A = this chain, B = another copy of it.
């Protein structure tokens, strides 16, 4: 089996939960998946056309609103494709922190600049943590409503753990640089 394209799998995954437009798919990624995944319109729209041509999804035009909306639905073949990918071992988990890269080369810039890069990261994470915490609360309260909620909660907990660990590190790193 040829390696499954990741963009196809994310999209089918999201479509396995509900029918969506390309725009809504992007929105889901920028909110629910934000803490561990991302994708651009430049990959989403071509992938959607491709999924339809391969029979993994079907497209219909929105009749309700006057707005031009193309709504996508997963097919049985799409669900099979998704399940097959889910059963395969994970190929790659990656992290690309430009902040850490700049820090690694800190000798060329000095502690002042290094600290300001850390503070920018700290500020970003401090701002995002409350959203994750409120998502956690909501998901915990609605665990019984939908089997999927348990899995959503798991990924939210991951984000919280990572953000907290990173914020802890920011504090310690600033202290070491100030010495």
Contacts and interface: CB of A to CB of B under 8 A. Distances in A.
A13 B108 contact: yes
A36 interface: yes
Interface residues of A, number: 66
Interface stretch (A45-53, A59-67, A95-103): A95-103
Q: What is the predominant secondary structure among interface residues of chain A facing chain B?
A: helix
B87 A113 contact: yes
A9 interface: yes
26 contacts: A6-B101, A13-B101, A13-B104, A16-B105, A32-B104, A35-B100, A37-B96, A37-B101, A90-B117, A91-B98, A92-B96, A93-B98, A97-B158, A103-B151, A103-B154, A103-B155, A106-B148, A107-B147, A107-B148, A107-B151, A114-B151, A157-B172, A158-B166, A161-B166, A161-B168, A165-B165
Given A36-B96, A104-B152, 11 more contacts: A82-B105, A83-B109, A86-B113, A90-B117, A93-B99, A95-B96, A97-B158, A153-B176, A161-B165, A161-B168, A161-B169
